Structure 1
Amino acid sequence: MSPAATGALLGLSATLGLLLVAGRTVAIRRPRLEERVLPYLRDLAPTARRPPPVTGAHSTARAVFGPALRRAADGVERVLGGAPSVRRRLDRSGTALTLHEFRVQQVQWGLVGFAIAAACGLLRTWTSPAHPVPLLLACAGAFACGVLLRDNRLTAQVRRREAAMLAEFPTVAELLALSVAAGESPVGALDRVVRRSGGELSRELGDLLARIRTGEPVADAFDRLAADTGLGVVARFAHGVAVAMERGTPLADVLHAQAADVREAGRRELIEQASRKEIAMMVPVVFLVLPTTVLFAFWPGLIGLSLSY
């Protein structure tokens, strides 16, 4: 075969391969029907909006390594325990993960730590051979650190989400109070605020609104929100709304008072943080700025004395 024919055949093969890759990429990235419809369903809870199933190499890897990961996750669950606490933190973090999926992620993080420790140990044994027992202990410790690090990250996610909810609460409470004072019902005011706002608290109230529209009583829905949340402010807000709706007390005044209390609490916390940071701010002044100033003041004198002698 001539070189020109060989080049033409290779070019044709490369073009066909690129066309196949491009066609498969377009087919994978094409949104499905439920993905196009879900954004228009406001009453559907965000936790029900599951991501599309994974296909391709990821599904193959899941089919191969999934049973082993599930058995390892069950082992981690038996060793660590604390399933109710983990479920509560998963609910408070706003993620759609189940307890078993979280345990699988812990195993994955532990395997990453194990792999890093094993790679470092192998690199060290190539330069200076050592006994394998310390290496195995280091790998086991790295696995345990990875598992605990995932748990710590979940706690950090919960704290970050609750801090965001606390920052959003005064604005949301004021909007609800204004809507109720304008003559809307509590459910209508909640719907208006959820549609006009965004954030963690707004999504939490969207889930509550979805439960109300599926038939759950309003007072019971707010009581459930008070029981599930980890913030005392949001719990008092939910209890106040439930009591106001049951007894007919003015809801707008309750919401205005709660928003004012939260703003005052945030102001006090900011003042306390400033007083705690005041001591930390003195560290660079005492150990960096002051010695530099003294050095600039006395250094010319020392130089003059040394030159005079």
Structure 2
Amino acid sequence: MTMATWGAVLGGCLGLGVMLIVARLSTIRRPQLSVRVLPYLRDLPEAAQALGAAPRTQLSPTTAAAGVFGPMLVSAGHLVERTLGGSASVRRRLERAGLQRSVQDFRIEQVVWGLVAFVIAAAIGVVRTLAEPSAAISSLVVCALALVLGVMARDSHLSGQVKRRERAILMEFPTVAELLALAVAAGESPVSALDRVVRRSGGELSRDLAKVLAAVRTGEPVGVAFDRLAATTGIPLVARFADGIAVAVERGTPLADVLHAQAADVREAGRRELIEAASRKEIFMMVPVVFLVLPVTVLFALWPGVLGLSFTTP
């Protein structure tokens, strides 16, 4: 191969490399699709964070375990689903708890919880078996019970998450309703008032209202969006609030009066719940009085007389 041929090959490679560099630079300088679309999706819950920086992927231990032991965990999740059933109830509770995961992911979490309980019980059982060989059968039974209890404990934890979130929503509801009523009374439309309240508040109820606002901004009617909120929430007061807003928007009734009345109802319901909780715990409040304060009082009253009798008795 002559020098001219080598020069042509090297020149062609150099030209191809320059073309690739220019094409790559033009691609980098071109705005990405996400950058062009995200300014119109500011009402989504995590749009502000996405505008500032790329969203960080949060990998839970369950997700990592599912990536390593995927097939086995998926099969075990299907087995738990066939055994326990109730996927509709689980999906409903996941929505009410505000967890962005599917029923299958929850079943995998149940399997992981059960395996962790099984490993702990197995470790204790091995120690017991080494000390006492006759305890092997009972250790196996305890391991099986630990596996079942671990699976059920994740389901119970989900119910606890739902209750805590609903309690937080009830605590936030009067303030959010009053803010909406003030914004509507000031002359803003329901959507503008909802946008103002969502941008200036934080909490579980604000996240739900942010989803409603995002649905409205994408073209869904306000009444339909609030009807969906009323159907998915598990709190009667919030469902009544969403129904009231939907009816007020559709029929043109005074929305500020409706919101003020609902906020007053929620405060009255919270006051009644506090009184009922105090009445239920009245007996527990008497325990320190009866078993601690009263014996000490009797002892202080009788002890000098007992000492006097012991001094005067021959």
Q: TM-score, normalised by structure 2?
A: 0.81
Pairing partner for 2:78 from 68, 74, 78: 74
Does residue 71 of structure 2 align to residue 52 of structure 1?
no
Alignment of 1:73-222 (within 5 A): 73-222=77-226
Distance (whole Å) between structure 2 residues aligned to residue 77 and residue 40 of structure 1: 40
Distance (whole Å) between structure 1 residues aligned to residue 128 and residue 38 of structure 2: 53
- Kindly tell me: are residues 129 and 161 of structure 1, through their superposed partners in 2, closer, same or farther at Cα, counting changes over 3 Å? same
Deviations 1:166-204 (A, max 9, x none): 111111111101111111110000000000111100011
- Kindly tell me: are residues 283 and 58 of structure 1, through their superposed partners in 2, closer, same or farther at Cα, counting changes over 3 Å? closer
- Kindly tell me: are residues 53 and 66 of structure 1, through their superposed partners in 2, closer, same or farther at Cα, counting changes over 3 Å? farther
Residue 231 of structure 2 aligns with an amino acid whose one-letter code is A
Deviations 1:249-278 (A, max 9, x none): 111111111111111111111122222222
Checking the alignment, whether the CA contact within 8 Å between 1:177 and 1:251 is kept in structure 2 is yes
Distance (whole Å) between structure 2 residues aligned to residue 108 and residue 267 of structure 1: 41
Distance (whole Å) between structure 2 residues aligned to residue 78 and residue 62 of structure 1: 19
SS at match of 1:130: helix
- Kindly tell me: are residues 211 and 170 of structure 1, through their superposed partners in 2, closer, same or farther at Cα, counting changes over 3 Å? same
CA shift for structure 1 position 282: 0.8
Distance (whole Å) between structure 1 residues aligned to residue 63 and residue 161 of structure 2: 28
Q: Which runs of 5+ in 1 are unaligned?
A: 1-33
Checking the alignment, whether the CA contact within 8 Å between 2:113 and 2:151 is kept in structure 1 is yes
Checking the alignment, whether the CA contact within 8 Å between 1:46 and 1:207 is kept in structure 2 is no
Does residue 43 of structure 2 align to residue 43 of structure 1?
yes
CA shift for structure 1 position 54: 5.0
Distance (whole Å) between structure 2 residues aligned to residue 243 and residue 51 of structure 1: 40
Pairing partner for 1:274 from 278, 281, 289: 278
Checking the alignment, whether the CA contact within 8 Å between 2:62 and 2:112 is kept in structure 1 is no
Which residue does 1:235 correspond to in 2?
A: 239
Distance (whole Å) between structure 1 residues aligned to residue 167 and residue 67 of structure 2: 39
Structure label with greater radius of gyration? 2
Deviations 1:5-29 (A, max 9, x none): xxxxxxxxxxxxxxxxxxxxxxxxx
Checking the alignment, whether the CA contact within 8 Å between 2:183 and 2:193 is kept in structure 1 is yes
Which residue does 1:287 correspond to in 2?
A: 291
Deviations 1:37-66 (A, max 9, x none): 98995322459x8852759x9988544311
Checking the alignment, whether the CA contact within 8 Å between 2:91 and 2:102 is kept in structure 1 is yes
CA shift for structure 1 position 293: 1.3
- Kindly tell me: are residues 302 and 60 of structure 1, through their superposed partners in 2, closer, same or farther at Cα, counting changes over 3 Å? closer
Checking the alignment, whether the CA contact within 8 Å between 2:173 and 2:205 is kept in structure 1 is yes
Deviations 1:185-232 (A, max 9, x none): 100000000001111000110011011111111110000000000000
Distance (whole Å) between structure 1 residues aligned to residue 276 and residue 64 of structure 2: 54
Distance (whole Å) between structure 1 residues aligned to residue 100 and residue 74 of structure 2: 18
Residue 175 of structure 2 aligns with an amino acid whose one-letter code is T
Which residue does 1:303 correspond to in 2?
A: 307
SS at match of 1:198: coil
Checking the alignment, whether the CA contact within 8 Å between 2:62 and 2:109 is kept in structure 1 is no
- Kindly tell me: are residues 107 and 38 of structure 1, through their superposed partners in 2, closer, same or farther at Cα, counting changes over 3 Å? farther
Q: Which runs of 5+ in 2 are unaligned?
A: 1-33
CA shift for structure 1 position 295: 1.5
Which residue does 1:21 correspond to in 2?
A: none
- Kindly tell me: are residues 58 and 39 of structure 1, through their superposed partners in 2, closer, same or farther at Cα, counting changes over 3 Å? farther
Bigger Cα displacement from structure 2, 200-209 vs 121-130: 121-130
Distance (whole Å) between structure 2 residues aligned to residue 60 and residue 207 of structure 1: 29
- Kindly tell me: are residues 39 and 284 of structure 1, through their superposed partners in 2, closer, same or farther at Cα, counting changes over 3 Å? farther
How many residue pairs are counted as aligned between the two chains?
Answer: 274
Residue 248 of structure 2 aligns with an amino acid whose one-letter code is A
Distance (whole Å) between structure 1 residues aligned to residue 279 and residue 287 of structure 2: 14
Distance (whole Å) between structure 1 residues aligned to residue 140 and residue 263 of structure 2: 55
**Divergent runs of 4+, >6 A:** 37-40, 57-60
Deviations 1:138-173 (A, max 9, x none): 101001111111100100000000011011111111
Checking the alignment, whether the CA contact within 8 Å between 1:180 and 1:186 is kept in structure 2 is yes
